[in-house]
Amino acid sequence: MAISREENDLLTRVESGAPMGEMIRQHYWLPAIPSDKLEADGAPVRVRLLGNNYAAFRTTDGTAGIIDERCPHRRASMLLARNEDNGLRCIYHGWKLDVHGSVTEAPNQVGNQRKFCENVRVNRYRVEERGGIVWVWLGQGERAPLFPDLPFTRVPADQVIVGCQEVATNWLQGVEASVDTSHVGVLHSTNVALGAKSSGRVHMTKVQAPVLEFEDRPYGYRYAALRDLGNGKTYVRLNNFVMPWFGVICAPEEGANANVFFSTPVDDTTHRAWIVQWNPSRPLGVSALMRGSDSWNWPPLPPGEPENNWGQDRKLMKMGHFTGFPQSFATEDFAMFLGQGPIHDRTDEQLSSADGAVVRLRRQLLKSVREFMDGQAPELADNPELDYATAVSVGGVIEEGGDWRGLAAD
């Protein structure tokens, strides 16, 4: 799919009223911050989304809230506020905002303070806390979009773990990687080999050119990556892309942990890469994916700068490590994004058969943002058949020529 400069900008730009940013703001819930980063009556945390800054906090009674960073009075930062008695109190003049963003106290106002507070103009944002994440809807109106209750948002706390990292590139570079199945057997080949107990992962390195087949779904699409194992057998990874950024990835074999990857826009040239590992039927136990203790700063970024190839360890490569980024499989991805530049230029690509899922992702995003620009609710964000809980990804071995759709039915 050839991408024009105009289309590349339409896909990637999210700041200052850009159509993609406004569509996301109005029609989607955004993951804002891991739940464990907010402490009752603790310090507020800055969250930057779509080029704007917000203050996330947890009130005395344990409720999570997100408000504009700037106080509606004299625009001081609410990150400096006192978090007490179920609200944030600005330390400049004492104005207090509750978890919904409403002003409840304005001590420097003479007269009827309650009536004054009711008339202060503020933005109010709806918040949900599910799957170890605090989510926010930044749109306007009484009707919020359907919450993306993907399967990982429905399991007990000991069956899901969340990590995220801020990466200095545009959000779409991360999203495209989440549906790019052929890179796993190359870029992550050393990590795959280290986890060689998983037959599914081994299949991905042995067959690096999968055949892709697709099926449109109300939330996006699902895609089957078919790898011929010989002896009349085909290994299938049936994964899902859920608009606008979720890559729902199957477990390598039955009973193993599954993953969900999503990259959300911080601004035009920064995104936050989210990794969720979860298990539908049992506690996770020790997760090799989540070795870090800071869910707001994990997995690690590459250890260097462009001047030293982002810290790539060539000595380690000579010893057998494929990429020279041993920190995490995600660190390998981050190095690829950074190498593409702050906003990847898609006008000069030369795609192959393995890029079908990436092409389909771009088409669905462009279709949705153009519907929004025409004054319509995007079909993939607002339709009666939309059911995020059906975005279930599975893997398995089928007979050569068999129908992979049977895996999902089972």
Domains of the chain, residue spans: 29-137, 151-409
Closest to 280 (Cα-Cα) out of 404, 394, 146 = 394
How confident is the model at residue 254, as a pLDDT?
Answer: 81
Judge whether residue 42 has pLDDT over 90. Answer: yes
Stretch 141-145: mean pLDDT: 94
Q: 220, exposed or middle or buried, with CB in 10 Å at 0-12, 13-18, 19+?
A: buried
How confident is the model at residue 406, as a pLDDT?
Answer: 83
3-state secondary structure of 112: coil
Q: Which tens digit of pLDDT belongs to each residue from 206-249?
A: 667 788 999 999 999 999 999 898 889 999 999 999 999 999 99
Judge whether residue 197 has pLDDT over 70. Answer: no
The CATH class given to the 29-137 domain equals mainly beta
Stretch 377-386: mean pLDDT: 96
How confident is the model at residue 56, as a pLDDT?
Answer: 98
The reply to whether 29-137 and 151-409 are identical in fold is: no
Beta carbons within 8 Å of 269's beta carbon, 6+ residues apart: 168, 169, 170, 342, 343
Packing angle, helices 356-373 and 19-27, rounded to 10: 80
Q: 170, exposed or middle or buried, with CB in 10 Å at 0-12, 13-18, 19+?
A: buried
Q: Name which of 69-78, 170-179, 209-218, 282-291 the model is least confident about.
A: 282-291
Q: Which tens digit of pLDDT belongs to each residue from 3-14?
A: 999 999 999 999
Is omega for the bond preceding 34 within 30 degrees of 0, making it cis?
Answer: no
In this prediction the pTM is 0.94
DSSP 36-76: GG--BT---EEEEETTEEEEEEE-TTS-EEEEESB-TTT--
Q: Tell me if 215 sits within 8 A of 221, measured CB to CB.
A: yes
* Percentage of the chain modeled with pLDDT above 90: 84
**DSSP H/E element including 360:** helix 356-373
Judge whether residue 204 has pLDDT over 80. Answer: no
Q: Which tens digit of pLDDT belongs to each residue from 78-99?
A: 999 999 999 999 999 999 999 9
Spatial distance between the Cα atoms of 56 and 256, rounded to a whole number of angstroms: 33
Q: Name which of 84-93, 188-197, 279-288 the model is least confident about.
A: 188-197
Assigned architecture for domain 151-409 = Alpha-Beta Complex (3.90)
How confident is the model at residue 1, as a pLDDT?
Answer: 61
Residue 387 Cα distances to 35, 147, 149, 156, angstroms: 24, 10, 8, 20
Look over the chain and give the mean of its residue pLDDT values, rounded to a whole number.
93
Q: Name which of 42-56, 288-302, 342-356 the model is least confident about.
A: 288-302
Spatial distance between the Cα atoms of 403 and 288, rounded to a whole number of angstroms: 33
How confident is the model at residue 291, as a pLDDT?
Answer: 66
Spatial distance between the Cα atoms of 72 and 84, rounded to a whole number of angstroms: 18
